[in-house]
Structure 1
């Protein structure tokens, strides 16, 4: 399950994992489009954003799935 936030300057949808909860902490949101994957801090919606290629994001997700914290 994800929580979605639309930004007025784009039609992209930001998604936050339901695992993030509402207690604060370290949460990120992601959005995808045909060019890249955007990543931002869910507590600072107007703050800086990181943009990576779809291939880079897929590599990260694969790594994260194989490693636990």
Structure 2
């Protein structure tokens, strides 16, 4: 079980996110997992990804989709 506390994590939004209050997520890199949360519901549910799963996801974002 991962015992990293979200209060110990440094959460950040993409530099592409504006301040207009749109739909954004925040990401925090822990020692073993990458966590993702809704920027408007900071106390709400969080997703946790292994570093390899997150790396694959981010790499896929840059690829063209048909």
Structure 1: runs of 5+ lacking an equivalent: 1-7
**Higher normalized contact order (CA 8 Å, seq sep 6+, divided by chain length):** 2
- How many correspondences in the alignment? 61
**Match of 1:26?**
23
RMSD of Structure 2 on Structure 1 (CA): 1.8
Task: State how far apart, in whole Å, the 2-side matches of 1:27 and 1:36 are.
Answer: 20
Q: Output the TM-score relative to the length of structure 1.
A: 0.78
Q: Which structure: greater strand fraction?
A: 1
| Runs (5+) with no aligned partner, structure 2 | none
